[in-house]
Amino acid sequence: MSSPNPASFQIGVDGGGTHTRAIALDTAGKVRGTGSAAGCNPNNIGFPQAAQNILDAIRATRVSLTERSSLCMGIAGLATEEQREKLRHHLTAAFPELAKAKLHLTHDLDIAHFAAFRGKPGIVLIAGTGSACFARDNDGTTYRASGRDFPYDDPGSGYAIGKRAIDTRLLPAADSRPAIAALAPRVIELAAAGDLKALDILRIEAEQLAKLALLVYHDFAQTEPFPTLALAGSILTADSLYRYTARFELQSTLPGVKLVDVDTPPEKAAAAMAKQLA
């Protein structure tokens, strides 16, 4: 990593199952570099490869890390302190300069929530390659439901849509989790064209996604009536038939909920968290 001068940077990383994105901001909030790499969920690819993909995205920003730098990384699948420390070990082993900087590791739901609510109470629902729901109330209590808490992986996600398309023989098999998730846009296209099997897949997965959100909504609504639910993740933010199907199911399943979209990119929210946590 090289930079014309060792300035202080805030670096945010959003690590999902398919993509890892990084952004570097200077102290004035100006973007000084961006980078991307393959996905980095350690549950899918292992901790050494996850660390490598994160570092590839950071290196692509082309800024230098010093003890004045601060980083916040929101990584899919990073649910426990043990997992965070394991990833920290692999990151600093592969790139010792990280030990000089202030490094905060959290999960991708945390940065998505910050992008939507900036520390205020609310619920965020993510559906991209995988799916999960996360909330934080006024007291700072958090509520979480993982897409892997269900009998099958990540209901309502791109992966679930792609897998159901393969299982029903709508589309041919794919050889990896990201490749299976990458089938989802084609399923949505077929549904928009009137394919009955594709339409049924979207309906089923939208219902399952609403059930996932309900797990968090039920507990959160006890302390925060009429909560706001922010939608995040590639499959929920794209203007598509699935987005509208999911919104309908969410409003039907979660009484009184207010749906909003997350406008801030999660990696930029992570950089803002890095500045706040520094």
Domains 10-106 and 116-261 share a fold: yes
- For the domain covering 10-106, report its CATH number: 3.30.420.40
- How far from chain centre, in Å, is Cα 84? 16
Contact of 227 with 236, CB cutoff 8 Å: no
C-alpha to C-alpha distance for 123 and 117, rounded to whole angstroms: 9
* Average pLDDT rounded to a whole number, residues 177-199: 96
Place of tokens 């794209």: 238
Confidence of residue 5 (pLDDT cuts 50, 70, 90): very low
* Eight-state DSSP code of residue 99: G
- Under a CB-based contact definition with an 8 Å cutoff, are residues 220 and 227 in contact? yes
pLDDT tens for each residue of 107-117:
999 999 999 99
Q: For residue 182, which amino acid is it?
A: A
Report the pLDDT averaged over residues 153-168: 95
101-153 pLDDT, tens digit per residue, is 899 999 999 999 999 999 899 999 999 988 999 999 999 999 999 866 666 68
Q: Where in the chain are the domains?
A: 10-106, 116-261
- Is it true that domain 116-261 has CATH number 3.30.420.40? yes
pLDDT tops 50 at residue 4 = no
Residue partners of 118: CB distance under 8 A and separation at least 6: none
